[in-house]
Protein backbone atom coordinates (compact mmCIF):
# COMPACT_ATOMS: atom_id res chain seq x y z
CA UNK A 1 0.00 0.00 0.00
CA UNK A 2 0.99 3.57 -0.67
CA UNK A 3 4.02 2.77 -2.71
CA UNK A 4 3.29 5.56 -5.17
CA UNK A 5 6.36 7.67 -5.94
CA UNK A 6 5.50 11.35 -6.40
CA UNK A 7 7.97 13.30 -8.52
CA UNK A 8 7.62 17.08 -8.59
CA UNK A 9 9.00 18.59 -11.77
CA UNK A 10 8.05 20.96 -14.58
CA UNK A 11 6.11 19.30 -17.43
CA UNK A 12 8.96 19.53 -19.95
CA UNK A 13 11.38 17.86 -17.54
CA UNK A 14 8.84 15.13 -16.79
CA UNK A 15 8.40 14.56 -20.53
CA UNK A 16 12.16 14.31 -21.10
CA UNK A 17 12.79 11.99 -18.16
CA UNK A 18 9.91 9.68 -18.94
CA UNK A 19 10.77 9.57 -22.65
CA UNK A 20 14.35 8.69 -21.72
CA UNK A 21 13.13 5.90 -19.45
CA UNK A 22 10.86 4.53 -22.19
CA UNK A 23 13.66 4.79 -24.77
CA UNK A 24 16.02 2.85 -22.49
CA UNK A 25 13.45 0.12 -21.97
CA UNK A 26 12.64 -0.12 -25.69
CA UNK A 27 16.35 -0.42 -26.56
CA UNK A 28 17.01 -3.03 -23.86
CA UNK A 29 14.15 -5.15 -25.17
CA UNK A 30 15.16 -4.71 -28.80
CA UNK A 31 18.69 -5.94 -27.99
CA UNK A 32 17.13 -9.19 -26.87
CA UNK A 33 14.92 -9.23 -29.97
CA UNK A 34 11.84 -8.78 -27.83
CA UNK A 35 8.84 -6.51 -28.23
CA UNK A 36 8.14 -3.66 -25.84
CA UNK A 37 4.47 -3.13 -25.00
CA UNK A 38 3.76 0.55 -24.46
CA UNK A 39 0.40 1.62 -23.02
CA UNK A 40 -0.78 5.02 -24.22
CA UNK A 41 -3.12 7.60 -22.74
CA UNK A 42 -4.80 10.38 -24.70
CA UNK A 43 -5.58 13.93 -23.56
CA UNK A 44 -3.54 17.11 -23.35
CA UNK A 45 -1.27 15.94 -20.55
CA UNK A 46 0.97 13.40 -22.38
CA UNK A 47 1.45 15.57 -25.49
CA UNK A 48 4.91 16.74 -24.36
CA UNK A 49 5.97 13.15 -23.74
CA UNK A 50 4.84 12.02 -27.18
CA UNK A 51 6.56 14.99 -28.83
CA UNK A 52 9.78 14.02 -27.04
CA UNK A 53 9.45 10.37 -28.10
CA UNK A 54 8.94 11.54 -31.69
CA UNK A 55 12.07 13.70 -31.38
CA UNK A 56 14.11 10.76 -30.07
CA UNK A 57 12.90 8.75 -33.06
CA UNK A 58 13.70 11.51 -35.56
CA UNK A 59 16.95 12.83 -34.17
CA UNK A 60 18.46 9.98 -32.20
CA UNK A 61 17.29 7.01 -34.19
CA UNK A 62 15.10 5.46 -31.51
CA UNK A 63 13.43 2.60 -33.35
CA UNK A 64 9.82 1.69 -32.65
CA UNK A 65 10.01 -1.40 -34.82
CA UNK A 66 9.66 -3.68 -31.82
CA UNK A 67 7.09 -1.53 -30.01
CA UNK A 68 3.50 -2.69 -29.65
CA UNK A 69 1.30 0.29 -28.80
CA UNK A 70 -1.80 -0.29 -26.72
CA UNK A 71 -4.46 2.31 -25.97
CA UNK A 72 -6.28 2.73 -22.69
CA UNK A 73 -9.64 3.62 -24.11
CA UNK A 74 -11.80 4.78 -27.02
CA UNK A 75 -15.13 6.50 -27.50
CA UNK A 76 -18.06 4.44 -28.75
CA UNK A 77 -20.03 5.12 -31.90
CA UNK A 78 -17.54 7.26 -33.77
CA UNK A 79 -16.48 6.91 -37.40
CA UNK A 80 -13.04 5.25 -37.57
CA UNK A 81 -11.55 8.23 -39.40
CA UNK A 82 -13.17 10.84 -37.20
CA UNK A 83 -10.28 13.03 -35.98
CA UNK A 84 -11.95 13.12 -32.56
CA UNK A 85 -11.58 9.36 -32.07
CA UNK A 86 -8.68 8.33 -29.84
CA UNK A 87 -7.50 6.14 -32.72
CA UNK A 88 -7.02 9.18 -34.94
CA UNK A 89 -5.63 11.20 -32.03
CA UNK A 90 -3.01 8.56 -31.24
CA UNK A 91 -1.96 8.37 -34.87
CA UNK A 92 -1.67 12.13 -35.15
CA UNK A 93 0.25 12.66 -31.92
CA UNK A 94 2.53 9.64 -31.83
CA UNK A 95 2.11 6.61 -34.08
CA UNK A 96 2.61 8.31 -37.46
CA UNK A 97 5.60 10.27 -36.13
CA UNK A 98 7.42 7.16 -34.88
CA UNK A 99 6.51 4.85 -37.73
CA UNK A 100 4.11 2.50 -35.91
CA UNK A 101 1.33 1.47 -38.33
CA UNK A 102 -2.05 1.75 -36.66
CA UNK A 103 -2.67 -1.91 -37.57
CA UNK A 104 0.13 -2.82 -35.16
CA UNK A 105 -1.55 -0.90 -32.34
CA UNK A 106 -4.20 -2.33 -30.07
CA UNK A 107 -6.93 0.31 -30.08
CA UNK A 108 -10.65 -0.42 -29.75
CA UNK A 109 -12.37 0.28 -33.08
CA UNK A 110 -14.70 3.23 -32.36
CA UNK A 111 -17.42 2.03 -34.72
CA UNK A 112 -18.23 -1.44 -33.34
CA UNK A 113 -21.74 -2.59 -32.54
CA UNK A 114 -22.30 -3.16 -28.83
CA UNK A 115 -22.24 -6.97 -29.09
CA UNK A 116 -18.99 -6.84 -31.05
CA UNK A 117 -17.49 -4.58 -28.37
CA UNK A 118 -17.91 -7.28 -25.73
CA UNK A 119 -16.08 -9.78 -27.93
CA UNK A 120 -13.39 -7.21 -28.73
CA UNK A 121 -12.80 -6.54 -25.01
CA UNK A 122 -12.37 -10.26 -24.29
CA UNK A 123 -10.01 -10.69 -27.23
CA UNK A 124 -8.04 -7.61 -26.12
CA UNK A 125 -7.40 -9.10 -22.67
CA UNK A 126 -6.28 -12.37 -24.28
CA UNK A 127 -4.03 -10.51 -26.69
CA UNK A 128 -2.41 -8.63 -23.80
CA UNK A 129 -1.75 -11.88 -21.98
CA UNK A 130 -0.23 -13.40 -25.13
CA UNK A 131 2.05 -10.37 -25.44
CA UNK A 132 3.22 -10.85 -21.86
CA UNK A 133 1.40 -7.79 -20.52
CA UNK A 134 2.01 -4.05 -20.74
CA UNK A 135 5.58 -3.04 -19.92
CA UNK A 136 4.83 0.61 -19.18
CA UNK A 137 1.47 2.33 -19.08
CA UNK A 138 1.21 6.11 -19.44
CA UNK A 139 -1.74 7.61 -17.56
CA UNK A 140 -3.46 10.95 -17.10
CA UNK A 141 -6.00 11.84 -14.42
CA UNK A 142 -9.56 12.83 -15.20
CA UNK A 143 -11.04 15.65 -13.14
CA UNK A 144 -13.13 13.11 -11.20
CA UNK A 145 -10.20 10.74 -10.67
CA UNK A 146 -10.85 8.47 -13.62
CA UNK A 147 -7.96 6.58 -15.17
CA UNK A 148 -8.62 5.51 -18.74
CA UNK A 149 -12.40 5.83 -18.67
CA UNK A 150 -12.76 4.03 -15.34
CA UNK A 151 -15.18 6.45 -13.79
CA UNK A 152 -15.87 6.69 -10.04
CA UNK A 153 -17.48 3.42 -8.93
CA UNK A 154 -15.18 1.25 -11.06
CA UNK A 155 -14.20 -1.91 -9.21
CA UNK A 156 -10.63 -2.96 -8.43
CA UNK A 157 -11.38 -6.19 -10.33
CA UNK A 158 -12.79 -4.49 -13.45
CA UNK A 159 -11.49 -5.61 -16.84
CA UNK A 160 -11.64 -4.11 -20.32
CA UNK A 161 -15.29 -3.29 -20.93
CA UNK A 162 -17.93 -0.93 -22.23
CA UNK A 163 -18.68 1.93 -19.82
CA UNK A 164 -21.06 4.86 -19.55
CA UNK A 165 -19.23 8.16 -19.31
CA UNK A 166 -19.76 10.31 -16.21
CA UNK A 167 -21.52 13.68 -16.69
CA UNK A 168 -18.37 15.63 -15.73
CA UNK A 169 -16.26 13.65 -18.21
CA UNK A 170 -18.72 14.44 -21.01
CA UNK A 171 -18.84 18.07 -19.88
CA UNK A 172 -15.04 18.29 -20.13
CA UNK A 173 -15.25 17.13 -23.75
CA UNK A 174 -17.89 19.61 -25.02
CA UNK A 175 -15.44 21.81 -26.90
CA UNK A 176 -14.17 18.89 -28.95
CA UNK A 177 -17.66 17.63 -29.76
CA UNK A 178 -19.48 20.93 -30.40
CA UNK A 179 -21.71 20.80 -27.35
CA UNK A 180 -22.89 18.19 -24.87
CA UNK A 181 -25.32 16.48 -27.24
CA UNK A 182 -22.44 15.58 -29.54
CA UNK A 183 -20.28 13.96 -26.86
CA UNK A 184 -20.42 10.14 -26.96
CA UNK A 185 -22.25 8.63 -24.01
CA UNK A 186 -20.21 5.40 -23.85
CA UNK A 187 -16.68 4.19 -24.32
CA UNK A 188 -14.46 1.12 -24.11
CA UNK A 189 -11.76 1.23 -21.46
CA UNK A 190 -9.16 -1.05 -19.99
CA UNK A 191 -10.31 -2.02 -16.49
CA UNK A 192 -8.64 -1.15 -13.21
CA UNK A 193 -7.30 -4.70 -12.88
CA UNK A 194 -5.99 -4.53 -16.45
CA UNK A 195 -4.19 -1.26 -15.75
CA UNK A 196 -2.75 -2.50 -12.46
CA UNK A 197 -1.24 -5.52 -14.24
CA UNK A 198 1.08 -3.27 -16.27
CA UNK A 199 4.63 -3.64 -14.99
CA UNK A 200 5.16 0.13 -14.64
CA UNK A 201 2.58 2.88 -14.27
CA UNK A 202 3.60 6.44 -15.09
CA UNK A 203 0.88 9.00 -14.40
CA UNK A 204 1.16 12.68 -15.29
CA UNK A 205 -0.80 15.65 -13.94
CA UNK A 206 0.08 19.27 -14.59
CA UNK A 207 -1.43 22.64 -13.82
CA UNK A 208 -3.81 24.17 -11.34
CA UNK A 209 -6.81 22.38 -12.84
CA UNK A 210 -5.42 19.06 -11.55
CA UNK A 211 -4.72 20.28 -8.01
CA UNK A 212 -7.90 19.01 -6.42
CA UNK A 213 -7.75 15.56 -8.01
CA UNK A 214 -4.03 15.17 -7.26
CA UNK A 215 -4.70 15.91 -3.59
CA UNK A 216 -7.60 13.47 -3.47
CA UNK A 217 -5.58 10.79 -5.29
CA UNK A 218 -2.87 11.03 -2.66
CA UNK A 219 -5.03 11.52 0.43
CA UNK A 220 -8.38 9.77 0.05
CA UNK A 221 -8.82 6.09 0.95
CA UNK A 222 -7.84 3.73 -1.86
CA UNK A 223 -11.04 2.63 -3.57
CA UNK A 224 -13.51 3.04 -6.41
CA UNK A 225 -14.68 6.50 -5.31
CA UNK A 226 -11.45 7.93 -6.78
CA UNK A 227 -10.15 5.28 -9.21
CA UNK A 228 -6.75 7.00 -9.43
CA UNK A 229 -6.14 6.06 -5.76
CA UNK A 230 -5.58 2.48 -7.00
CA UNK A 231 -2.21 3.67 -8.31
CA UNK A 232 -1.07 3.62 -4.68
CA UNK A 233 -1.42 -0.18 -4.64
CA UNK A 234 0.95 -0.74 -7.54
CA UNK A 235 4.55 -1.79 -6.80
CA UNK A 236 6.10 0.40 -9.53
CA UNK A 237 3.93 3.47 -9.98
CA UNK A 238 4.99 7.10 -10.29
CA UNK A 239 2.96 10.28 -10.38
CA UNK A 240 4.75 13.20 -12.04
CA UNK A 241 3.25 16.53 -11.04
CA UNK A 242 4.31 20.14 -11.37
CA UNK A 243 4.18 22.65 -8.52
CA UNK A 244 0.73 24.06 -9.44
CA UNK A 245 -0.82 20.57 -9.54
CA UNK A 246 0.60 19.92 -6.11
CA UNK A 247 -0.88 23.14 -4.77
CA UNK A 248 2.37 25.03 -4.65
CA UNK A 249 3.67 27.90 -6.75
C1 LIG B 1 -9.66 11.53 -20.91
C2 LIG B 1 -8.97 10.17 -21.16
C3 LIG B 1 -7.92 9.87 -20.14
C4 LIG B 1 -7.11 11.13 -19.87
C5 LIG B 1 -7.99 12.18 -19.20
C6 LIG B 1 -7.28 13.50 -18.87
O7 LIG B 1 -10.95 11.40 -20.47
N8 LIG B 1 -9.88 9.07 -21.21
O9 LIG B 1 -7.10 8.82 -20.59
O10 LIG B 1 -6.03 10.83 -19.03
O11 LIG B 1 -9.11 12.44 -20.02
O12 LIG B 1 -7.18 14.34 -19.99
P13 LIG B 1 -6.26 15.61 -20.03
O14 LIG B 1 -4.87 15.12 -20.05
O15 LIG B 1 -6.62 16.32 -21.31
O16 LIG B 1 -6.56 16.41 -18.83
**CATH number of the domain where residue 118 is located:** 3.40.50.1360
Point out the ligand 1 atom lying closest to the alpha carbon of residue 43: 15
So which residues are the catalytic ones?
73, 144, 146, 151
For ligand 1, what atom is nearest to the CA of residue 169? 7
Ligand 1 contact, 142 CB (< 6 A): yes
Q: Which residue has the higher pLDDT, 205 or 249?
A: 205
Q: Total domain count for the chain?
A: 1
**Which DSSP state fits 6?**
E
CB-count burial class (<10 Å; 0-12, 13-18, 19+) for 138: buried
CA dihedral sign, ordered 183, 189, 57, 13: positive
What are the pLDDT digits (tens) for 228-249?
Answer: 999 999 999 999 999 999 987 6
The string of pLDDT tens digits covering residues 60-85 is 999 999 999 999 999 999 998 899 99
Element (H, E) at 158: none
66: left (phi over 0), alpha (psi -120 to 50) or beta: alpha
Does the reported pTM lie above 0.85?
Answer: yes
Report d(CA 131, CA 43) in Å as an integer. Answer: 26
In this prediction, residue 94 carries a pLDDT of: 98
Which residue among 44, 78, 140 has the greatest number of ligand 1 atoms within 8 angstroms of its CB, and so is best to mutate? 140
For residue 227, the enclosing domain spans: 5-246
> Strand 200-205 relative to strand 161-164: parallel, antiparallel, unpaired?
unpaired
Amino acid sequence: MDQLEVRVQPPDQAARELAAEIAGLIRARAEEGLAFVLGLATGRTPLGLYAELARLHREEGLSFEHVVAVNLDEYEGVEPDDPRSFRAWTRAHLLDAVGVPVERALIPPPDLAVAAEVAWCRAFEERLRALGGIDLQVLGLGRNGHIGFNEPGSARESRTRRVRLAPETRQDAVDTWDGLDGVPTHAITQGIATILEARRLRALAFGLAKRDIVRRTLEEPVGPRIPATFLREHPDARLCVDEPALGRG
